[in-house]
Each structure stands twice: as structure tokens, then as C-alpha cells.
């Protein structure tokens, strides 16, 4: 199923690369995209070889988000005509949300390389990533407001924690495009590259720099950063106390220090994989 929407390379290497590959359809999402995407990211986590995931795209635009055909035709689980249907709607929507939650929950950093339009659901995906880079022609928009709905896959929850709240509200209420330079000024992206070629090269080079670090330290750092977003400093420090006691590893540090002193890549063991349930 995943081949229809994206290709995954490097799954058994420190830098995995998931590339959206339906440029003729502006890399839009339809209902079957979501579980395929979730399962692909979860598989990388279970295999435990990847230390970084780069998400990029093909064609003129990163993604135009959810295909409008979905709303025009209607899909099972998105009907709210009865109380039972509304309860089912809530369950279905939460399942869709979880398909992007996996990016935040993954133990490895995720870098999004965005060219052209990052529209609607694509911005939900991008804001769930740890780092965003973009090309000079990139733009970002909360498209849902134009079709009479509130964005509902995470962008309204994550965007105000990435950019100033006023800018998040402006985007949510107007649906106006945020261009690359304003996205950089607002902190939505870390860097703007001249074109798609330079963008992907920078994303992969950054991924290589990150992948050279201890996967244990990367996983712990991501857990701590994610927790600190929604908790007071005192609570986050207490979480860090428990987290560090679980992952502090003198042997891992010795490998890192040896490589650092020798100015050579350290030879870290991968994290333990997760076997399928039942084995």
C-alpha cells in the first residue's frame, strides 16, 4: 500500500528517508495514506536501526494535504448525523491524529524538507516533525478554514508552540500563506535553501550529523524536549531525573568520548528493536 504514496529508503541504516511520490496528484492524502504512513514510521521504530528520519517530497509541492475528493464523496467514519455516528466520528478522528502522532513519539529526530506548498494536512504532518527546512519557494497554509472546517490533525495544537501565538492564530483564521522568509523569521523553519536540490542535500547532511550521535542520547533528548513543551520546569526537571536514571550509560559515553577525541565517527550499537506482539 505504501508504494502508492511514498517510498522508504535506508530503513536499515542510521538515516532513513521517506519520500512522498505522487507529484501528479500534488502528493495529496486520502484515507488509506494515513495507516500506511503510520505503519511505515512505526516499522522504523520497531526495527531500531534508524537514528534520524528525513521526510521529503517530489514535484512542485511538498503536499496539498487531504484530497478534496474525500470531502466531496464522504467517507465512512466522517458522518455526524446521529449520536452513534458522532461517537464513531470521534474514534475515527483520533485514529487519524495518531497517524501523525507517531512522528512525535518516535525515539529518533524527524526532519521535514519542504518545497513549494505545505498545505492543510501537510502542515499537520510538518508540525509533528522535530525540525523543518524549506526551499525559497515554500509556503505554508492552514487550508481547512477555506473549506469551512477547523484543522483537526494537530496543527492547531502544535503550531502555537512553534511560532508566536498571534501568527498561529492569523494562519488559522485567515488561511493566508506564510512564505519561506516569514516562516524562517517566525521560527517555523530552521533554514531556507535556494531550491529543492539544495534543500534535500541540507536535510540529509543535517541528518548525517545527528545520526553520528548516540541513539540512546538522541532518544532521551527527544523525550525530555517533548515533555518540557507541556509541563512546568519543575515537573520537567523531575521527569529528567527519572529519565536520566534510566538511560545514563557510562559505556555509551566512553564510546562517544573516544570518537570525539579522535575526531572519528563513534561506533554506537543501535537501540533494541521491538519484536511483534505475541513473540
- A 10 A CB-CB count for 165 gives 10
d(CA 140, CA 108): 25
276 has a pLDDT exceeding 80: no
Predicted pLDDT at 1: 41
pLDDT digits (tens, 9 = 90+) for 14-59: 999 999 999 999 999 999 999 999 999 999 999 999 999 999 999 9
pLDDT digits (tens, 9 = 90+) for 61-115: 999 999 877 765 555 556 788 999 999 999 999 999 999 999 999 999 999 999 9
Categorise residue 10: left if φ over 0, alpha if ψ from -120 to 50, beta otherwise. left
User: What's the predicted TM-score (pTM) here?
Assistant: 0.94
d(CA 233, CA 96): 31
How many helices (H) and strands (E) the chain has is answered by 11, 9
278 has a pLDDT exceeding 90: no
Predicted pLDDT at 275: 81
Q: Is 87 helix (H, G, I), strand (E, B) or coil?
A: helix
277 has a pLDDT exceeding 70: no
d(CA 59, CA 277): 38
Q: Which of 219, 223, 17 is nearest to 113 (CA)?
A: 17
Amino acid at each position: 500500500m505504501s508504494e502508492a504514496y511514498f517510498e522508504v529508503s535506508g530503513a536499515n541504516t542510521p538515516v532513513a528517508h521517506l519520500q512522498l511520490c505522487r507529484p501528479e496528484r500534488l502528493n495529496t492524502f486520502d484515507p488509506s495514506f494515513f495507516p500506511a504512513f503510520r505503519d511505515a514510521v512505526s516499522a522504523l521504530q520497531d526495527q531500531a536501526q534508524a537514528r534520524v528520519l528525513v521526510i521529503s517530497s517530489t514535484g512542485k509541492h511538498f503536499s496539498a494535504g487531504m484530497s478534496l475528493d474525500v470531502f466531496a464523496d464522504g467517507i465512512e467514519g466522517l458522518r455526524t448525523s446521529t449520536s452513534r455516528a458522532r461517537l464513531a466520528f470521534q474514534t475515527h478522528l483520533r485514529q487519524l491524529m495518531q497517524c501523525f502522532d507517531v512522528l512525535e513519539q518516535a525515539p529518533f529526530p524527524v526532519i521535514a524538507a519542504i518545497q513549494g506548498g505545505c498545505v492543510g494536512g501537510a502542515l499537520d504532518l510538518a508540525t509533528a516533525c522535530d525540525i523543518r527546512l524549506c526551499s525559497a519557494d515554500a509556503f505554508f497554509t492552514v487550508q481547512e478554514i477555506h473549506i469551512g472546517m477547523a484543522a483537526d490533525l494537530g496543527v492547531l495544537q502544535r503550531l502555537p508552540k512553534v511560532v508566536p501565538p498571534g501568527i498561529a492564530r492569523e494562519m488559522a483564521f485567515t488561511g493566508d500563506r506564510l512564505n519561506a522568509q516569514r516562516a524562517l523569521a517566525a521560527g517555523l523553519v530552521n533554514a531556507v535553501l535556494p531550491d529543492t536540490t539544495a534543500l534535500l542535500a541540507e536535510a540529509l547532511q543535517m541528518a548525517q550529523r545527528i545520526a553520528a550521535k548516540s541513539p540512546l542520547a538522541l532518544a532521551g533528548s527527544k523525550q525530555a524536549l517533548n515533555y518540557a513543551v507541556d509541563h512546568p520546569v519543575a515537573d520537567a526537571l523531575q521527569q529528567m531525573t527519572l529519565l536520566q536514571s534510566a538511560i545514563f550509560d557510562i559505556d555509551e559515553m566512553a564510546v562517544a568520548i573516544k570518537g570525539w577525541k579522535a575526531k572519528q565517527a563513534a561506533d554506537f550499537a543501535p537501540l533494541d528493536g521491538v519484536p511483534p506482539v505475541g513473540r
